Amino acid sequence: MFGKLIDDKMADYVTEEVDKVSKILIRKILNDNFWNDISLDDLFVVNKNESGEIDLIDLNTKKVNDILGKSNSIILYYFNEFDKGNVELINKYSDVFNRYMVGEKSGLFINVPLGIAFSNPILFSVGPKIPVKILLTGQIESEILTNVRQYGINSILFEISIKIKVCEKIIFPFSNRYVDVELEVPLVVELISGKVPENYLNNQKSGIME
């Protein structure tokens, strides 16, 4: 009964910490590897006519699938290494972990203050801490999201993001829990300009701008 009480009290706290740290880790891991080199031309082909007007924006399916596959592989590799206790990689991203999450040769742990179980904030800093094992490796899913909106007179703002979902495992002293971490990370935000019209109707002033 005491173990069940501790598990229930710790669940919300640990889940929140795992979600927060995992999102920061995913962003840093991907940014450190290849996302800075991605441009709109890698993902879409923009066709314009002789007047400079946009005729078609076509998705480069192969390139998108390559990016999704590479993203999943990189995340899975790093998370596997964290779980195996790769001290070099853990130290590389030590600035991401908060003061309660630690990495060592046996993997990642969250040292949960016992005050959580008793709802006693005094024990947060002076009381004992319960180590909770974290397994980041799990099922990874990703997809490309796009958002196109008008910008200015005759331009569009193209936003491309990747949505990532990872299922992670938390090993409590008396039970196991699973956490779904989901986030969207921008890949490309680019302004695409078309032909600026010679005349522009200003509806607010009911006049014509030339």
CA distances from 51 to 95, 154, 175, 191, 193 (A): 51, 13, 65, 18, 12
State the Cα–Cα distance between residues 128 and 151, nearest whole angstrom.
Answer: 56
Q: Is residue 67 part of a domain?
A: yes
Q: Please report the pLDDT score of residue 10 as a whole number.
A: 78
Cα–Cα distance list, 131 to 56, 57, 81 (Å): 55, 52, 19
8 Å CB contact between 86 and 92 = no
Domain containing 157 equals: 2-194
How far apart CA 24 and CA 32 sit, in angstroms, is 12
- What pTM was computed for the model? 0.76
Please state the domain count of the chain: 1
Helix, strand, coil percent content, the chain, rounded in steps of 5: 35, 40, 25
140: enclosing H helix or E strand: strand 140-151
Could you tell me if residue 56 is inside a domain?
A: yes
At residue 206, what is the residue type? S
Domain membership flag for residue 202: no
Within a domain: 25: yes
What is residue 123's three-state secondary structure? helix
3-class DSSP state of 21: helix
The answer to the question of residue 199 being in a domain is: no
**pLDDT in single tens digits along all 210 residues of the chain:** 656 666 677 788 888 888 998 999 999 988 887 776 676 667 777 676 776 666 667 777 888 888 888 889 999 999 999 998 898 888 888 888 876 677 777 888 888 887 776 776 676 666 678 888 889 887 899 988 888 777 767 677 878 888 999 999 988 777 788 999 999 988 877 777 665 444 444 444 434 333
Q: Is 187 within a domain?
A: yes
Spatial distance between the Cα atoms of 118 and 112, rounded to a whole number of angstroms? 12
What is the length of the chain? Answer: 210
Q: Please check whether residue 206 lies inside any domain of the structure.
A: no
Residue 154 lies in a domain: yes
